[in-house]
Amino acid sequence: MKIKKNIKNIITMYYVKEMIFVSPCRRTLTKLIIYISCFVLVFFIFSIIQISRQFYESMNAQKVRYPTDLKYILFWKKPITNRSEKLRFNHAPKFIDGQSMFIKQRCKFINCFITHNKYLLRKDHQNLDAVVFDVRDIMDFSINEFDLTRSADQKYIFRSLHSSENYPICDPFFDNFFNWTWTYKLNSDIPQPLINIYNSRNELVGPNINMAWNKKMIHKNRFFRQISSKTKAVAWIVNKCKMKRKYQDFVRELKKELKSYNYTLDIYGTCGDNMCPGSSITKCLKMIEMRYFFQLIVEDTFAEDYVSERMVRAMTRIVIPIVLGTSDYNNFLPPGSYINAQTFDMKKLGAIIDYLLQNRNTYKHFFDWKNHYYYTVRPRSLVCDLCEKLNNFNQTYKSTIRKDFRKWWNSDYKNACQKRFHKIYV
């Protein structure tokens, strides 16, 4: 019995010792499990927050700005409040968000990024490199519609391929407002005329201010067939009846003068007495080239440097353009290639037309320039020059302001604005 009792005591002591030893281990293990669980929970919550933030930023198309990244260009738009404005802006050139336009146009610089979202960069439009304002957005502008805060490094750029006569800027708010101008005017910071002039080596040479033409044109008798088929004097294509009414006095006088030589001025198009073949402008131009010696080219506007695509259509044909406008055509057309109706009275203009009709050898020399140059229409959505300008360090970091902007854009802006908005501007 005594032996059994001793054995029992020994076993009891062993279990007690074991319990004393195991209990702290279990407590330590429990604490470790709790710590690990808390860490996992915190990590999980942090991950959820990060994923949510990334998702929110991607949904809002936000980008973080770094010193070496793209040049961001905002095309600012005023809110469109009615259907007529919506239809008006549907005809504007489309500037696609992103870099694709610079890549597709094979620009020298493609590190530019177009956006229409002023909150693209950290919700702060001051991070943008440039803001472009289209003339149609600001022509009837209200200061209340201006929703940007300007930064010192940004370039505010005025853009227009529409004539200053038809689209004057009237609000004095815009004087000393723009850093750069991007228009058809040749003295713009980023000139974008509506036509291209190439030399015989396929190099873009114009138009430019003080255009340097070849002084001596080579004469080749290579247009004999096209010229020999001509039998009529002057043709004019007009599809805007408003324009026909605007120049009706000039047209009436020209018709009268031509009639004295037994010639006619034949008017084609929707507002003319004659229909174009197949109602096609291309077929009409081809017909005029074959039958007529001269084509009357009248611009929609007499704004400085505004020479439109219709001039290219005439210059790519074997027909002498009679131009009516106020532009310095010497920067756009080779000397001896056209007749400027503004520089002659009607009697002299009629006499010149008659002389060239009677002397075809002299008439042929009006096409000598074609041995040296050719014309193309310049697409209105070109963006390469804009990106190149933004990559010019000297230009970008130079502080420039277009002073007296309204007068630069239209020297007669006071009359133009009063006529359009029936208000007096100073």
Q: Over the stretch 113-169, which tens digit does the pLDDT of each residue have?
A: 999 988 888 777 788 999 999 999 888 777 777 777 788 889 999 999 999 999 999
296 in helix, strand or coil?
strand
Number of Cβ within 10 Å of residue 139's Cβ equals 19
Per-residue pLDDT at 74 = 95
One-letter amino acid for residue 38 of the chain: C
Residue 327 pLDDT greater than 70, yes or no: no
Pairing mode, if any, of strands 112-115 and 204-206? Answer: unpaired
Mean pLDDT over residues 230-235, rounded? 97
pLDDT greater at residue 379 or residue 10 = 379
- The kind and range of the H/E element at 132 are strand 130-134
* Nearest of 208, 157, 212 to residue 183 by alpha carbon: 157
Q: Domain 195-377 is of which CATH architecture?
A: 3-Layer(aba) Sandwich (3.40)
Phi, psi of 241 (to 5 degrees): -65, -30
d(CA 48, CA 53): 9
Residue 87 pLDDT greater than 70, yes or no: no
Residue 397 · residue 391 · CB < 8 Å: no
One-letter amino acid for residue 249 of the chain: D
Taking the CA atoms of residue 234, residue 236, residue 242 and residue 243 in that order, the dihedral angle to the nearest 10 degrees is -70
Q: Each residue of 2-31: b (16+ CB within 10 Å) or e?
A: eeeeeeeeeeeeeeeeeeeeeeeeeeeeee
For the record, the structure tokens of 415 come out as 């009359």
Per-residue pLDDT at 59 = 46
pLDDT in tens, 361-402: 999 999 999 999 999 999 999 999 999 999 998 877 777 889
Mean pLDDT over residues 79-104, rounded? 71
Residue 158 · residue 100 · CB < 8 Å: no
One-letter amino acid for residue 338 of the chain: Y
Mean pLDDT over residues 92-98, rounded? 81
d(CA 176, CA 402): 6
**pLDDT band at residue 10 under the 50/70/90 scheme:** very low
Per-residue pLDDT at 200 = 95
Residue bearing tokens 């002057």 = 234
Burial class (CB in 10 A: 0-12, 13-18, 19+), 214: middle
Domains of the chain, residue spans: 71-192+383-421, 195-377
Task: Give CA separation, 26 vs 13, 14, 15, 34, in Å.
Answer: 20, 18, 16, 12
Mean pLDDT score across all residues of the chain? 84
pLDDT in tens, 268-308: 988 888 988 888 889 999 999 999 999 999 988 889 999 98
Per-residue pLDDT at 267 = 95
Residue 181 · residue 155 · CB < 8 Å: no
What DSSP designation does 113 have? E
Cα 128 from chain centre: 18
Instruction: Give the residue ranges of DSSP H helices in 150-211.
Output: none
Residue 179 · residue 386 · CB < 8 Å: no
Mean pLDDT over residues 235-254, rounded? 88
d(CA 251, CA 193): 28
d(CA 158, CA 406): 11
